[in-house]
Chain A
Amino acid sequence: MSHDLVIGMAGSGGDGIVSAGESLIAAAAGAGYAAIMTKSFGSQIRGGESSCRVRISTKPVLNPGGTLDVAVALNWDDFLKFGAELPVGGNTVVIYDAKTGVAPDKLPLGAVVPEEVYPVPIDALARQTAGTDKAKNTVILGLLAGWFGLAADDLLAGMRKKFAKKGPELVAANEKAFEAGRNYAAEHPLREPRFMEPAPPGEPKLLTDGNDMCAAAAIFAGCRFFGGYPITPSTEIMQFFTREVWRHGGAVLQAEDEIAGIGAALGASFGGVKAMTATSGPGMSLKSEIMGLATICELPLVIVNVQRGGPSTGLPTKSEQADLFQAALSAHGDVLRPVLAPVSVRDTFGVTVEAFNIAEQYQTPVIILSDQEIAQRKESCDPIDTRAFKLVDRLQPSAADLEKYVRFRFTESGISPVSAPGMPGGNYLGSGIEHNEHGDPTASGGMHAKMNEKRFRKLDPLKHRRDLFETYGDPRAPLALIAWGSVAGVCIEALERARQEGLRARLLVPKLLWPIAEEVYRDFFAGVQSGLVVEQSHQGQLYRLLRMQLDVPKGLQSFARSGANPFQPAEVVARLRETALAVQRQGAETLTPVE
Chain B
Amino acid sequence: MNCQPKDYKSDLKPIWCPGCGDFGVVQAIYRALAAVGRPPHEIAFVSGIGCSSRIPGYTTAYGFNSVHGRALPIAQGLKIANPDLLVLCAGGDGDGFSIGGGHVAHAIRRNLDLTYIVMDNQIYGLTKGQLSPTSKLGLKTVTSDLGSLEAPVNPLLYVLSYGAPFVAQGTPADMAGLASVIEEAIRYPGFSFVNVQSPCVTFGEDDWQLKQHKAVMKSVASLGHDASDVIAAMRLAQAYGSELYTGVLYRAPQPPSTYDALVRERQAEQQKKALPRERILELFAAKKKETAA
Contacts and interface: CB of A to CB of B under 8 A. Distances in A.
B153 interface: no
A260 B275 contact: no
A349 B66 CA distance: 32
Interface in B258-293: 263, 266-267, 269-275, 277-278, 280-281, 283-287, 289
B145 interface: no
Interface string A403-429: 000000000000000011111111111
* 8 closest cross-chain pairs (CB), A and B: A267-B77, A264-B77, A263-B73, A29-B286, A268-B81, A246-B270, A267-B74, A260-B73
A263 B57 contact: no
Contacts of B56: 429
Contacts of B78: 267-268, 270-271, 421
Nearest to A249: B267
B285 to A, nearest CB: 6
Interface residues of B, number: 58
Interface in A1-44: 26, 29-30
Contact of B41 (A264, A272, A292, A421): A421
A425 B42 CA distance: 10
Given A256-B106, A426-B41, A432-B65, A207 B286 contact: yes
Interface string B41-61: 111101001000010110011
A383 interface: yes
B80 interface: yes
Nearest to B104: A256
A267 B75 CA distance: 6
A253 B281 contact: no
Given A260-B106, A267-B78, A430-B65, 14 more contacts: A208-B283, A225-B80, A244-B283, A246-B267, A259-B73, A264-B76, A266-B74, A266-B77, A267-B79, A289-B67, A387-B278, A421-B42, A421-B78, A441-B57
A224 B81 contact: yes
B43 to A, nearest CB: 8
A380 interface: yes
Contacts of B73: 227, 255, 259-261, 263-264, 267
A216 B41 contact: no
Contacts of B49: 432
Contacts of A263: 66, 70, 73-74, 77
Interface string B201-241: 00000000000000000000000000000000000000000
Interface of A: 26, 29-30, 204-208, 212-213, 216, 219-220, 222, 224-225, 227, 244, 246-251, 253, 255-257, 259-261, 263-273, 275, 289-290, 292-293, 297, 349, 380, 383-384, 386-387, 419-433, 440-441
Nearest to A255: B73
B102 interface: yes
Contacts of B267: 246-247, 249-251
A251 B57 contact: no
26 contacts: A30-B287, A204-B285, A205-B286, A205-B287, A207-B286, A212-B283, A225-B80, A244-B280, A246-B271, A247-B275, A248-B275, A250-B267, A251-B263, A256-B106, A260-B70, A260-B103, A264-B77, A266-B74, A270-B74, A270-B78, A271-B78, A273-B82, A289-B67, A427-B41, A429-B65, A430-B65
B41 A425 contact: yes
Q: Which of B46, B263, B267, B272 has the most CB of A within 10 A?
A: B267
B46 A267 contact: yes
B235 to A, nearest CB: 29
Nearest to A384: B281
A208 B77 contact: no
A290 B77 contact: no
B44 A220 contact: no
Q: Which of B70, B75, B77 has the most CB of A within 10 A?
A: B77
Nearest to B69: A259
Contacts of B272: 247
Q: Which of A421, A424, A433 has the most CB of B within 10 A?
A: A421
B77 A222 contact: no
B64 A213 contact: no
A249 B273 CA distance: 11
B155 interface: no
A253 B76 contact: yes
B164 to A, nearest CB: 16
A523 to B, nearest CB: 34
Given A216-B284, A441-B65, A421 B274 contact: no
Contact of A206 (B263, B269, B286): B286
Contacts of B77: 225, 227, 253, 263-268, 271, 275
A549 B146 CA distance: 52
A25 B44 CA distance: 50
B84 A422 contact: yes
Given A293-B66, A429-B64, A430-B65, A253 B80 contact: yes
Nearest to B42: A422
Contacts of A425: 41
B39 interface: yes
A247 B81 contact: no
A206 B285 contact: yes
B278 A255 contact: no
Contact of A421 (B62, B65, B66, B284): B62
Contacts of B106: 255-256, 260
B12 interface: yes
A402 B54 CA distance: 24
A244 to B, nearest CB: 8
A422 B263 contact: no
Interface in B29-49: 39-44, 46, 49
Contacts of B21: none
A256 to B, nearest CB: 4
B85 A204 contact: no
A422 B82 CA distance: 9
Interface string B93-114: 0000000001101100000000
A423 B41 contact: yes
Contacts of B82: 268, 271-273, 420-422
B165 interface: no
Contact of A216 (B63, B67, B75, B283): B283
Nearest to B82: A271
Contacts of A29: 286-287
Given A247-B274, A247-B275, A432-B67, A267 B81 contact: yes
Nearest to B75: A267
A265 B75 CA distance: 10
Nearest to A379: B284
Given A264-B76, A383-B281, A249 B271 contact: yes
B57 A440 contact: yes
B39 to A, nearest CB: 7
A29 B288 CA distance: 12
A375 B78 CA distance: 29
A380 B284 CA distance: 9
A290 B85 contact: no
Nearest to B56: A429
A379 to B, nearest CB: 10
Contacts of A430: 62-66
Given A251-B80, A260-B70, A440-B57, A422 B281 contact: no
Nearest to A429: B63
Contacts of B62: 419-421, 426-430
Contacts of B81: 224-225, 251, 267-269, 271-273, 275
